[in-house]
Amino acid sequence: MKSSGHSSRHGEEEQLDPEAQRPMRLTPASSKDMAQRCERFLSRGRVSRDRVVPFDGEGNVLRAKDVLEESSLAGKGYHYFLSHKKEHSKHGKVPAQMAQALHDSLELMGFNGWLDVDHLQKITKEALAEAIGQCQSMIVLFNDETANSEWCVFEWATAVELGLPIKVIVDMERCTKALAVEKLSAWPKMLEHQLLDYTERSRRDILMELVEFVTDAAEAQNRSHSQHSSRRNSFQSEALTFGSSNEQRVLHERFEQFALFGGVPVRAPKSPAARLWLWVVRTMMVLLTAYFFWLMVYGTGPAFNDRHEAIILISGIVICSFVASSTTNVLRSPAFLTILANADTGQTSMELATRFYSRTRGASTKAGLSATSLTILFYMGLLPRLGDAFYIASSDAEAVMFGYTGIVISVLAAPPLFAQITTSLSQSSMLLAISRMQLVAAFDELHPVIAELGMWRATKATDAQLGLVGSLTVTPGAVHRFRVKWNKGVKGYLNVQRQLYASNVARFVLAAFGAALPLSMALRDVHVRDHWSNAIWPVLIWLAGVLNIYNTLRIGLRSTETLNKLVFNAKFLEIDSLEVEAAFHAVLSKADLTCHLCPWFPCTAITSMMTSSILLASCIPFVFVDFGGA
């Protein structure tokens, strides 16, 4: 895509005001004084590149609210504790000045940090321990003498004991990275996060890395602080909504009703009838499982002599119920509710939210049709067998009663059971789709045209259609805002994947049982006899397992291809600054957007094709099974 901008990549550099070019030495001034000084510089022209002050490329001072949605400190007093050694034997107070510069820069953005110069009159271990306990994270400015400081070592030990996340910045002019790793080897907790290399050239990048670190720590603390109440209220009666305005619902009413029919409501049922139905469905699942277990142990019919088949039926009911409950719990998890809460700003976010809501109505229709088809196949394969004399002994009144009871339970439980299966598949697709929204919406930060049209339409439009000439004018500040929002989106996307691991593994296990059935029957030389349903039933079991994992693969592959296509198109954006364009591409290339169904299973075209081929080939042993007696 070619977009706007009146400046050229090879244009002359803007002339800076001589006073604005003079390096600005940061001191432990108050945030208010520093903000006034920054505004004075901004009013005179563009800010020189050698400052650590957190300006964006549009001449605005970045604030914490731009990168931290949750401003609450979750019961803490400070976002971070800055640990440093005040004096160096050779370089004097340079480390202290560096610490003050970083601290002032972060506070200028709106973060509330703790630095001994500003908060302690007399340093004691008790005061330090109390201060660290009031912080959400720790930042360590490390040089070759820091580990020799008794005070610093005490601060680290306290932070480790409290479980605070720790980010270490290595002063590369006064220490090597190898030396830092050696001295910190006794503190594994401090090496959990990647060490940052502080140099004159990298100081701006260091500040942005710290912004992300402090933001992540604050959000984690907020989630931990509200975890108990979130768990207690996670299953609420209110509908899920996008954003904080609670105006745009996530799921259509029809989909919620279909999920309730399957016994896995996405919110607590309000009416007595709905609560009664929920109890009935769960009771039927227990009775159906018990019935198949009884047949596996005591059944005398031709098929239920096949223990493998009985195990599949029992495990299928248990696994399907678990998967449906698991995906529903993800919808109400604190992490996913945070993703929904963040989707309340930007034109793209609201457009995607509105479109998603309307699509969930179609999803409920498709899920209903699929459940109906599976139920009919279930009736065709099972009911004729349940009515057979092998299962209902006409000479024993109790056996006859038990047989007809099993028929009734199977007829009543099958529709909700298959509704659970199709609902869980739809919910998995929805969870991944919602987690991708923030990634798509992040591009709104780059340019007003993209915000107005949306990334997908903007990449397809021509310059004439956009009414723009030349390449796109994107400021460094816009790339920074994009980077923050993009990284948050990536973390949310990966978090949703991790929460779906358990349900996906359960689906793989069920598919493995079904795929192994033909081979098991062939190896044991099973002879199918007496009724045609005995022949079709093993095929239906195999087909159900294959279709279940096929749809799971399709959902994951679609997610992978959607994001890969998004990144591919985004890299064709023509930006008028080579430096800004390189920074933009670096953000896009950093994350692995491949959808992982499990930690060991990346869902790509190759892995999906190989898995599908193996599952389809698993039906070949049916050729060696004797179906002639059916």
DSSP 254: H
Give the mean model confidence (pLDDT) for residues 561-590.
Answer: 82
Amino acid at 87: E
Name the pLDDT band for 56 (thresholds 50, 70, 90): very low
pLDDT of residue 142: 92
Name the pLDDT band for 245 (thresholds 50, 70, 90): low
Asked if residues 114 and 134 have their Cβ atoms less than 8 Å apart, the reply is: yes
| Residue of 402 and 197 predicted with greater confidence | 197
Helix, strand, coil abundance in the chain, percent, nearest 5: 65, 5, 30
Q: What 3-state class would DSSP assign to 244? A: coil
- Indicate the range of 50-64, 391-405, 451-465 predicted with least confidence: 50-64
pLDDT of residue 531: 60
Name residues whose C-beta falls within 8 Å of residue 433's C-beta, 6 or more positions apart in sequence: 356, 559
- For 620, left (φ over 0), alpha (ψ -120 to 50), or beta? alpha
- Reported pTM: 0.66
Tallying the residues shown for the chain, one arrives at: 630
Q: What are phi and psi of 329, to 5 degrees?
A: -65, -35
Asked if residues 52 and 102 have their Cβ atoms less than 8 Å apart, the reply is: yes
pLDDT of residue 369: 93
Amino acid at 538: P
CA-based nearest residue to 367, from 257, 441, 272, 285: 257
Give the mean model confidence (pLDDT) for residues 480-484.
Answer: 79
Give the mean model confidence (pLDDT) for residues 548-573.
Answer: 87
Asked if residues 513 and 312 have their Cβ atoms less than 8 Å apart, the reply is: yes
pLDDT tens digit sequence for 181-190: 888 887 888 8
Asked if residues 459 and 572 have their Cβ atoms less than 8 Å apart, the reply is: yes
Q: Residue-wise over 17-42: b if at least 16 C-beta within 10 A, else e? A: eeebeeebebebeeeeebbebbeebb
pLDDT of residue 4 exceeding 70, the answer is: no
d(CA 610, CA 601): 12
pLDDT of residue 482: 83
Q: Provide the mean pLDDT of the chain.
A: 75
pLDDT of residue 527: 72
Name the pLDDT band for 163 (thresholds 50, 70, 90): confident
Q: How far is CA 156 from the centre of its chain?
A: 31
pLDDT of residue 68 exceeding 80, the answer is: no
d(CA 211, CA 102): 11
CA-based nearest residue to 320, from 368, 263, 369, 370: 263
Asked if residues 142 and 169 have their Cβ atoms less than 8 Å apart, the reply is: yes
pLDDT of residue 308: 63
Name the pLDDT band for 593 (thresholds 50, 70, 90): confident
- Indicate the range of 5-9, 363-367, 370-374, 540-544 predicted with least confidence: 5-9
pLDDT of residue 554: 92
Amino acid at 116: D
CA-based nearest residue to 629, from 533, 521, 540: 533
d(CA 240, CA 234): 11
pLDDT of residue 557 exceeding 90, the answer is: yes
d(CA 134, CA 78): 6
Question: What count of other Cβ atoms lies within 10 Å of the Cβ of residue 493?
Answer: 23
pLDDT of residue 111: 82
Asked if residues 548 and 511 have their Cβ atoms less than 8 Å apart, the reply is: yes
- Indicate the range of 203-212, 303-312, 564-573, 619-628 predicted with least confidence: 303-312
Report strand pairing: 113-114 vs 601-602. Answer: unpaired
- Indicate the range of 45-59, 108-122, 222-236 predicted with least confidence: 45-59
pLDDT tens digit sequence for 322-342: 888 888 888 888 778 777 877
- Indicate the range of 3-12, 444-453, 509-518, 581-590 predicted with least confidence: 3-12
Of all helices (H) and strands (E), which one includes residue 235? none
pLDDT tens digit sequence for 81-98: 999 888 888 888 888 888
Q: Where in the chain is the domain with CATH 3.40.50.10140?
A: 25-225
pLDDT of residue 365: 92
Task: Compute the radius of gyration of the chain from its Cα atoms.
Answer: 31
d(CA 296, CA 404): 17
- Give Dmax over CA atoms of the chain in angstroms: 107
Among residues of the chain, what percentage have pLDDT more than 70? 73
- Beta-bridged to residue 240, according to DSSP, are none
Q: What are phi and psi of 528, to 5 degrees?
A: -85, 130
pLDDT of residue 219 exceeding 50, the answer is: yes
Asked if residues 115 and 108 have their Cβ atoms less than 8 Å apart, the reply is: no
Q: What are phi and psi of 529, to 5 degrees?
A: -145, 175
Name the pLDDT band for 462 (thresholds 50, 70, 90): low
Of all helices (H) and strands (E), which one includes residue 26? none
Name the pLDDT band for 377 (thresholds 50, 70, 90): confident
pLDDT of residue 110: 77
pLDDT of residue 378 exceeding 90, the answer is: no
pLDDT of residue 274 exceeding 80, the answer is: yes
pLDDT of residue 555: 92
pLDDT of residue 309: 67
Name the pLDDT band for 138 (thresholds 50, 70, 90): very high
Q: How many helices (H) and strands (E) does the chain have?
A: 23, 11
CA-based nearest residue to 204, from 352, 56, 379: 56
Give the mean model confidence (pLDDT) for residues 114-135.
Answer: 81
Rounded alpha-carbon distances, angstroms, from residue 254 to 176, 305, 352, 374, 583: 61, 42, 19, 20, 45
CA-based nearest residue to 327, from 250, 261, 284, 265: 265
d(CA 618, CA 378): 21
Name the pLDDT band for 298 (thresholds 50, 70, 90): low
Give the mean model confidence (pLDDT) for residues 531-548.
Answer: 77
CATH assignment of 25-225, given 3.40.50.10140, 1.10.3720.10, 1.10.275.10, 3.40.1260.10?
Answer: 3.40.50.10140
The strand ranges marked E within 484-562 are: 527-529
pLDDT of residue 5 exceeding 70, the answer is: no
